[in-house]
Amino acid sequence: MATATRTYGPEMHGQRMTYDEFVSAPWREGHQYELIHGRIVVAPIPNMPHDCLDDWITEGLKSYSRRKPKVVNYVSTAPRIFVPGFDDDYTTCPEPDIAAYSDFPADLPFSERDWRDFSPILVVEVLSPENSDKDLVRNVELYEMVPSIREYWIVDGLESADRPSLIVYRRRGRGWQKPIHVPYRETYTTKLLPGFELVVDPHAK
């Protein structure tokens, strides 16, 4: 008689795992899973407004990448960021909604690419009401520890996904400057992405 394969789900929240165990585990669909300080962190799949805001930022960055491939040569909506300074028992690799890379190995065969080998210049998180503290507190600290990340954007559509605002952390030296708050319909520009403009309005034409 065949034995059903064990799968892992929300009951694994807080359990210890190595990175190799994490990437090989048969996770059940319907939740998001991260490995933080060597422990599993489980979150619900974001709702549709979150997905729409994610798509809005992604399209803007991908359009910029096509125009300025020497500045941004890859944009991912399923990245994994390895935070340095932790041994194998405490592997910490948050998975932001979006990441933009300047030196992604585009010529490397797919089978040889590994998230541990490269790191982005920009990460973006879209706030979810179920776990906004993750992006407003935890990830501010974790992304600050990754030297390659020059900016961290937080898209805040909690009050209204149709009228979001933007919070930006910019690196100065080893740490973040005071966060910049960009209101709805204002335009954000940055020296990190020359020629890039983001009107903080997902419905703007």
**In a 10 Å sphere around its CB, with 0-12 CB exposed, 13-18 middle and 19+ buried, how is residue 163 labelled?**
middle
Instruction: Name the strand (E) or helix (H) holding 19.
Output: helix 19-24
Backbone angles phi, psi at 93, to 5 degrees: -140, 80
pLDDT at 25 (0 to 100): 95
- pTM score of the predicted model: 0.95
Q: What is the mean pLDDT of residues 184-189?
A: 99
What is the 3 state secondary structure string of 72-123? CCEEECCCCCCCCCCCHHHCCECCCCEEEECCCCCCCCHHHCCHHHCCCCEE
Whether residue 3 has pLDDT greater than 70: no
CA 205 – CA 186 distance, rounded (Å): 14
Instruction: Output the pLDDT for position 88.
Output: 86
pLDDT at 4 over 70: no
Using only C-alpha atoms, what is the Rg of the chain?
18
What is the pLDDT at residue 5? 74
Instruction: Compute how many other C-beta atoms are within 10 angstroms of the C-beta atom of residue 6.
Output: 7
Over residues 68-108, the pLDDT tens digits come to 999 999 999 999 999 999 988 899 999 999 999 999 998 99
Bridge partner list, 34 = 41
User: How much is the average pLDDT of 114-120?
Assistant: 95
Give the tens place of pLDDT for each residue, 131-176: 899 999 999 999 999 999 999 999 999 999 999 999 999 999 999 9
Taking the C-alpha atoms of residue 72 and residue 3, their distance in angstroms, rounded to an integer, is 47
So what's the pLDDT on residue 75? 98
The domains found in the chain, sorted by start residue, are 1-45 (no CATH), 46-199 (3.90.1570.10)
**Lookup result for tokens 């407004």:** 49
C-alpha dihedral sign at 45, 19, 135, 117: negative
Closest residue by Cα to residue 97 from 122, 67, 70, 133 = 122
List, for residues 17-46, the tens digit of each pLDDT value. Answer: 999 999 999 999 999 999 999 999 999 999
* 1 pLDDT more than 80: no
- How many residues are present in the chain? 205
By CB atoms closer than 10 A (0-12, 13-18, 19+), residue 107 is exposed
Q: What per-residue confidence (pLDDT) applies to 106?
A: 86
